[in-house]
């Protein structure tokens, strides 16, 4: 289904739950990139064609905004695209299986998430950050 890259702040228990839903999942831990800058992590996710999933809204909203602004400035917006960024607000209210189902539903509901940043929390569901 989708190729996903989990940030180091995401639960390692989410990987098998997403894999059981037929997603190709890797993570900062699996790629041995702990402590690497967020910009490099996003670059590597782009190179692998993976949607980046994180709890870190501040850094990735800034990276997404910069990505879109600079690719437009450099006239490469049509070719310099990331596979998407999903920002999930941390919650103790749902388990990894349920969270994987939430992610899977988003990936099915949205036709395309490339070059988009979509934020989720348990109360508001999903909304795109523009």
What domains, with CATH codes, occur in the chain?
Answer: 3-129 (3.40.50)
pTM (predicted TM-score): 0.88
Q: What is the pLDDT of residues 43-66, one digit of tens each?
A: 999 999 999 999 988 889 988 888
pLDDT in the model for residue 121: 83
pLDDT in the model for residue 27: 95
All residue ranges of the chain with pLDDT < 70 are 76-80, 124, 127, 130
Q: In what order do the strands lie in the sheet with 3-6?
A: 24-27, 3-6, 51-54, 85-88, 117-121, 125-129
The Cα 126–Cα 130 span in angstroms is 13
pLDDT in the model for residue 71: 75
pLDDT in the model for residue 3: 96
């Amino acid at each position: 289904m989708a190729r996903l890259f989990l940030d180091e702040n995401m639960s390692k228990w989410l990987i098998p739950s997403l894999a059981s839903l037929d997603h190709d999942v890797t993570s900062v831990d699996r790629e041995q990139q702990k402590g690497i800058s967020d910009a490099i992590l996003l670059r590597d996710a782009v190179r692998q064609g993976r949607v980046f999933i994180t709890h870190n809204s501040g850094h990735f909203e800034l990276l997404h905004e910069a990505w879109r602004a600079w690719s437009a400035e450099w006239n490469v917006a049509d070719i310099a695209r990331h596979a998407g960024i999903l920002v999930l607000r941390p919650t103790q209210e749902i388990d990894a299986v349920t969270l994987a189902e939430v992610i899977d539903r988003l990936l099915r509901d949205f036709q395309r998430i490339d070059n988009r940043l979509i934020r989720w929390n348990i109360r508001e569901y999903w909304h795109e950050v523009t």
